[in-house]
Structure 1
Amino acid sequence: MKNIISVFFALCICLSVSAQEHMKFMGIPLDGTIDNFALKLKEKGVTYDAVKSETAGPGGRIFKGMFIGEDATFMVFFNAKSKMVFGVGVELSYPDVESAHLPFVNLTELLQNKYPTATSEASKDSDGDVNGLAFNIPDKTGVKRIGFILQTLKVSDSYQNGGCSIYLMYTDMDNFQKSEAINNEDL
């Protein structure tokens, strides 16, 4: 009888864990290991950039591929110890601010349409200037925040470059907090 109760209890725990909702990026939940996440990106035509990944340091891997029909660079963030993925950054590059303006506005509208229950607020840089939007993404019930998407515009500081980039940062709240807890164990 004790074994039956133990098995039932274990099943209940497994079901509650599997029911946990996670942020998604390109339809892929921001959950699981970096190796599994990389395989799912590969299935979508995204390729690993080994050379740039060496400069990313522990907890980051860089990929190249298409995002909303444009060439993009992706940086997947994961906990270096557990290998658990918690975020993805996307960079879309443009030659100047004028050419980035319409895609930035279009992305905002696409995000608002995809996440109609999300709340948004202005994102500010370190100087306090508005540089984009932060979308807080609720779960299906609308009670809990499962993640956020930060959309920012960055103009190159280099006079010669003159380029501009749209950055999107997708973050899963549960896995980000788990990563922080793992890192804090060292303190």
Structure 2
Amino acid sequence: MVNYYISNNINDIINNTINTGKHMDNMIIKKFVNIIRYNLFNRYHVFKSKSLKPGYHDFDIRMLYLLFDMLVDFVEIELAWMNVCFTNKRPKWPRRWFFRSRKDGIDYLKWEIKQTSGMQLIRANMVKLLYLWWTVYRPQRIDPWDNVKHIDGLLTMDKDSIEYKEFMKQANEADKIDNMYYNEDTEMMKALIEIREDLWT
């Protein structure tokens, strides 16, 4: 990135430095520093899922995980920081870059629920509900396909056999549960989208 910036802008840098003096030079230096800062350290424009296991995932699954991972970051970093920034629990400056606290984020939400009313109270309750659903309740789901017995040669099996009918019964039940999970995920994602304008500190 640095090489790209210098190679594509070196003439502008030299000309601006020579022709316009110190003011333009300071602007170029600030722009250069910001490019380095936002591409190496403060990568606010890059979103990566921390909870999605490596491997291929369809776009809808990646979207779900990304949205809720961002909610987890909001609670465990931004709200947690609001809980400690004006107290003696505030970490020393080197640890601030890596500050993350589940407990402080939830404590801040509890405080916000007790101290506020109206839409702010509703938002705080919804953030807490969505956060706990994603981090506590959803991971406890049992995979419905774990109960489906694997059968070799399923495609060539007689459709009227007892073994095939039993497999299809288990597969249909697992599919119903899977659809129920998918619908629940969709409803929770819609709820998160509904409160997105309130997710700021």
- TM-score (structure 1 length as normaliser): 0.22
Q: Give the structure with higher Rg (CA).
A: 2
Q: Which structure is richer in relative contact order (CA contacts within 8 A, separation 6 or more)?
A: 1
Larger proportion of strand = 1
**TM-score of the superposed pair, with normalisation by structure 2:** 0.21
